[in-house]
Amino acid sequence: MKSHYRVVVIGGGVVGASVLYHLAKLGWTDVALVERSVLTAGSSWHAAGGIHALNADPNIAALQAYTIDLLSEIEEESGQNIGLHMTGGLTMAGTPDRWEWLQSAYRTFQSIGIEDCRLVSVEEACALNPIMSGEGLLGGMWADREGYIDTTGTVHAYATAAKKRGATVIEHNRVLELNQTLEGWEVVTEKGTISCEHVVNAGGLWAKQVGRMAGIELPVSPLKHHYFVTDTVPELAELDFEVPMTVDLEGFTYTRQDQNGLLVGIYEVNHEHWAMDGAPWDYGMELFQEQTDRIEHELMMGYGRYPALENVGIKTWVNGAFTFSPDGNPLVGPVPGKRNYWSACAVMAGFLQGGGVGKSLAEWMIHGEPEADVYGMDVARYGIWAENRQYIKETTGQFYSRRFVMTYPNEQLPAGRPLKMTGVYSDMDAAGAQWGQSWDLEVPLYFAQPGFKETPSLKRSNAHDIVGAECRAVRERVGLLDITAFSRFEVTGPRAQEWLDRLMASRLPAPGRAKLAPMLGHDGRLKGDLTIFNWGDGRWWITGSYYLRAWHMRWFNDHMEDGVQVRDLGDEMAGMSLAGPKSREVLKAALSDGDADALKFMGLAQMDVGLVRCQVARLSVAGELGYELHCRAGDLKALRDHLLAVGAGYEMVEYGFNALLSLRLEKSFGIWSAEFTQGYTPGMTGMDRWIDWSKDFIGKAAAVKECDGSGPEKVLVTLDVEAQDADASGYEPVWKGDQKIGFVTSGGYGHTLGNSLAMALVDRACANEGEVLSVHVVGKERMATVIAPSPYDPDGKVMRA
C-alpha cells in the first residue's frame, strides 16, 4: 500500500470493483480500492446475480444494456470465469392494465434501441418455460439478453481486470476516518493513512457510515430480501435447455434455474428494514434466518405459478440485506458541497447496473461529464430534506414493497408526504387542490369538488375534464397558479454579470428585462433551460425547475469565481402567476402601487399587490398574457387572498400544473426532463436560437462544431396525434412506415385545441410540416402528423398583447 493515490475507492463489492476498473480503463491507473474485509463481503456475495437490459427509466436501461455487453469483455480480459448463463428472460402480466403496460413498455424499449425483445402469448411463454403455469396470465415479454452470472466470480473479474491495468486492490483494511485537505482527502485506515485527490464511496451496506465520515448524510437504508434455491426439480432435469429468467409481476417473484433446481426470489409487500445507520463493521458473510411468516402470501403465489415446486425440498434459504435509495435508483456522482467526494451507493441491482455506474462515474471524474444522461441516479436529485430518518424509512420501504406493484403515471404515492407545504397549502386543500410533489414541495395538480378521487390509469383519467375546464378558463378569462415550485437563485457581486455571461450561452438581458437562457456543459449538451432576470440594481435572478435546485447549485459552485455570490432563494421566496386575457385587468385592480400598463413583455418591475411587495415579471409558461408575482414565502397567503378577492369579479379560477402542461404543449414549449435534458444539444431542441454566438461561454466549442458541421441527426417537432382515449407521454417510438425515426419526448391532450399533441425528436429528413408518421400510444399505433410549432397563437401575439 502506497501513501498516496489519485483515487481511493472505498468498498470491494461489484460497484467499487467496477469503478476501479473503469478508472483504470480510461487512463487513471494510480487508483486503489480499499476493502475492510474481502472482495464481495456485504451484499455482493449473496446476490441472486440476475441480469436484464429492461428498466422503466430508459437511461438506466441503456446503462444496464452496457453492463451486459461488458460482462464477456471483463471475463476475457481478466481470465476469471464469471459463470455467465444467457438464458433469455420472460416478464409476465396477469391483469389487463399490466398487460397493456407491458405492451407499452415494449415500444419504449424499441425507442431506446433495445431490439432483442418481443411480446409473447401465454402459450409461447409456457413453451419457453415449461414449469410455469399460465393460469391467470394474459401475456408476456421475452428478452434475449437476460440471464445470470456467478456474483463472486464477476467481482473478481472486475478487480483482476483493473489490476492488470495498473490499479491496486487492498483487502482486510478498514477505513477509520476521512479528513478533507486542500489537496483532496486523507483516508485513515487500519494499515495507515493514504492521501488522495478523490474519494469514492462505494460502501454498499456501509455507505451511511462512509458518508458520515465526510459529514454527509446519504438517503440510503438496507432492507432484507429473500430468495431460496430448491433441490433438484425433476421436470427441469428432464429438459435439454435452461429455463429462462422469469418475472411474475402479479406474484411478486423472479426465478432462474440453479443447476437442476430453481432459484425463487421474492419482493414481499411486508418489507423489513435493517441497520438503518449502516451495517455493523464485523458483518460481511452472514445471513438472517428466513422469515417465512412474513413472505407467506408471496410464497403461496410462487408455488401456484410453479406447481413442480410442491414436490421438492428447499436446499438453501438466503435472507440478506441490500441498500436502497428512496426511489430505488443509485446515488451516483459528486456530492454537492464536498469537493472530490464521489458517491457510488444504493446500487441495489449491482450486477445489473454496476458496469454502467462504474463507466459513468469514471467518465465524470476524468472528463467532467458522463457520456449518458444519468440524472435518474444523480446524488444531487435529493436535497437535505431527504436526510430525515423517517423520510428514508418511509420512501425506501415504499419502493421495496412496490417493486413489482404497478404504478400509474397519474398515481401519487404517499411515502414521505406531505413534507414541505406553502403557506397557502391548507387554503388550497380546502378549495379542492389535488396534490403532487416536486422535490420536497407539495404542488397543486388541479382543483376538484369535495370527495373527488382520481382513478389511476394508463389512459385519460376521470380528471381529464376537470383539467380541460381549467385550461379553457385560462385561455378565455384568467387563471391563478401557485408558482412556488419554480427555482430562484440570486446572483450578486462585482463580477456577477461577467460570471453569468460566461455561464449562460445567451445574451444577458438589459436592466429591467428577462431573457431565456440555455446553459451548456463543457461538451455542448444542455445543463439548463433557464430564465435570467436583471433587476437593474446589481441583483440577477436565475429561475428554472424547482426539483433541480441542488443539481444546479452544484454546477454553479463548481464554476464559482471570486467576486460572485449565488444564493438559493427556494426556501425564502414563493409566488403566484396570473395568466389569461383578463390577467392585466386583475393585476391593475389588485395593485396598490405600480403601473401594469407600462410593463412590456419580458419586462420586470417591483410592485405592491395589496399589502404584499412583489417582484413582477411579465411572462407566462401558459403562452398567454401573464405575470409572475414573486414574494416572500410568508407573504404568499396574503397575496393569494387578495388576488382571489379581486379576481372574483373577472371569473378567475385557480388551476394546477396538469393544466399548465397541456397549455404549454399547445405552444410547443419544451420542459426539462422531457424536451430538454443533459443528453440533448441546443441544435436538437431548438435552444440554439437563443445562443449568442459572438461571445465566449462554457460549451461554445462543442456547440459551434454542431452548428458549423452537418447539424444534429434528430430535431424537435410537434405532432398532431390521432389518439382516442390515451395520449403519448414520453419515449414512445415514432415511425415512418416500418422505419423507426425517433421518439416522443412528452405528450398530452391540448384541451383548448381539442386534439392530442406530442413533441418528439425525429430524423431531420422527417421533420417537415405535413409529414405523416405514426406513434405508439399505450402500445397501440396511431397516425401522427408533423405540424408547425406553437399550434396555439403561433405568432405569439397573445403573450405580447
DSSP secondary structure string, 417-437?
A: -S-B--TTHHHHHHTTEEEEE
CA nearest to 770, candidates 756, 784, 749: 784
Please give the pLDDT value at position 741. Answer: 97
pLDDT surpassing 90 at residue 464: yes
Average pLDDT over residues 151-165: 98
pLDDT surpassing 80 at residue 75: yes
Distance CA 543, CA 490 (A): 9
pLDDT surpassing 90 at residue 62: no
Let me know the angle formed at the C-alpha of 361 by 355 and 366, rounded to the nearest 5 degrees: 125
CA distances for 411 relative to 180, 186, 268, angstroms: 43, 46, 21
Q: Is 204:15 a contact under the CB 8 Å cutoff?
A: yes
Please give the pLDDT value at position 722. Answer: 98
CA nearest to 749, candidates 737, 740, 758: 758
Q: Is 265:251 a contact under the CB 8 Å cutoff?
A: no
List, in order, residues 6 or more apart from 700 with CB less than 8 Å away: 505, 520, 524
pLDDT surpassing 90 at residue 172: yes
Which helix or strand (DSSP H or E) is residue 126 part of?
Answer: helix 122-128
Average pLDDT over residues 644-662: 98
Confidence of residue 114 (pLDDT cuts 50, 70, 90): confident
List, in order, residues 6 or more apart from 465 with CB less than 8 Å away: none
List, in order, residues 6 or more apart from 709 with CB less than 8 Å away: none
pLDDT surpassing 90 at residue 115: no
Q: Is 463:646 a contact under the CB 8 Å cutoff?
A: no
Q: Does residue 283 sit in helix, strand or coil?
A: coil
Distance CA 47, CA 322 (A): 9
Please give the pLDDT value at position 790. Answer: 97
Confidence of residue 666 (pLDDT cuts 50, 70, 90): very high
Please give the pLDDT value at position 567. Answer: 98
Percentage helix, strand, coil for the chain under 3-state DSSP, each rounded to 5: 30, 30, 40
At 420, give phi and psi (nearest 5°).
-90, 130
Average pLDDT over residues 370-397: 96
Q: Is 133 left (phi over 0), alpha (psi -120 to 50) or beta?
A: beta
The CATH-assigned architecture of domain 702-796 is Beta Barrel (2.40)
pLDDT surpassing 90 at residue 319: yes
Q: Is 551:381 a contact under the CB 8 Å cutoff?
A: yes
Cell of 9: 475507492
pLDDT surpassing 90 at residue 37: yes
The pLDDT tens digits for 212-270 are 999 999 999 999 999 999 999 999 999 999 999 999 999 999 999 999 999 999 999 99
Distance CA 500, CA 496 (A): 6
The pLDDT tens digits for 568-606 are 999 999 999 999 999 999 999 999 999 999 999 999 999
| Amino acid in position 521 | G
Average pLDDT over residues 167-194: 98
Average pLDDT over residues 396-411: 95
At 440, give phi and psi (nearest 5°).
-100, 0
Q: Is 599:605 a contact under the CB 8 Å cutoff?
A: yes
At 236, give phi and psi (nearest 5°).
-75, -40
At 93, give phi and psi (nearest 5°).
-115, 140
Q: What is the DSSP letter of 676?
A: B
For the chain, the structural domain boundaries read: 4-85+146-221+270-296+310-324, 486-650, 702-796
List, in order, residues 6 or more apart from 60 with CB less than 8 Å away: 329, 353, 356, 376, 377
Q: Are strands 780-787 and 772-777 parallel, antiparallel or unpaired?
A: antiparallel
Domain at 486-650, CATH homologous superfamily? Probable tRNA modification gtpase trme; domain 1 (3.30.1360.120)
Confidence of residue 551 (pLDDT cuts 50, 70, 90): very high
Q: Is 720:760 a contact under the CB 8 Å cutoff?
A: no
CA nearest to 487, candidates 604, 387, 630: 630
pLDDT surpassing 80 at residue 16: yes
pLDDT surpassing 80 at residue 55: no
Percent share of the chain, pLDDT over 90:
96
Distance CA 230, CA 612 (A): 70
Q: What is the DSSP letter of 253?
A: E
Q: Grid cell 401519487 — which residue?
A: 412
**What value does the mean pLDDT of the chain take?**
96
| Amino acid in position 644 | L
Average pLDDT over residues 535-564: 97
Average pLDDT over residues 497-513: 98
CA nearest to 727, candidates 460, 469, 465: 460
pLDDT surpassing 90 at residue 113: no
- Catalogue the long-range contacts made by 181-188 (C-beta closer than 8 Å, 24 or more residues apart): 184/340, 185/8, 185/214, 185/340, 185/341, 187/8, 187/10, 187/34
Please give the pLDDT value at position 765. Answer: 97
The pLDDT tens digits for 484-497 are 999 999 999 999 99
The pLDDT tens digits for 429-463 are 999 999 999 999 999 999 999 999 999 999 999 99
Sign of the CA dihedral with 197 first, then 202, 205, and 208 last: positive
Please give the pLDDT value at position 60. Answer: 82
Confidence of residue 52 (pLDDT cuts 50, 70, 90): confident
Q: Is 239:262 a contact under the CB 8 Å cutoff?
A: no
Strand partners, 757: 720, 748
Confidence of residue 358 (pLDDT cuts 50, 70, 90): very high
CA distances for 407 relative to 97, 295, 367, 580, 587, angstroms: 10, 22, 37, 34, 41
Q: Is 185:10 a contact under the CB 8 Å cutoff?
A: no
Q: Is 616:628 a contact under the CB 8 Å cutoff?
A: yes
Domain at 4-85+146-221+270-296+310-324, CATH homologous superfamily? FAD/NAD(P)-binding domain (3.50.50.60)
The pLDDT tens digits for 729-757 are 999 999 999 999 999 999 999 999 999 99
pLDDT surpassing 90 at residue 538: yes
Please give the pLDDT value at position 59. Answer: 80
Please classify residue 260 by burial: count the beta carbons closer than 10 Å to its beta carbon, then call 0-12 exposed, 13-18 middle and 19+ buried: middle
List, in order, residues 6 or more apart from 537 with CB less than 8 Å away: none
Distance CA 16, CA 207 (A): 11
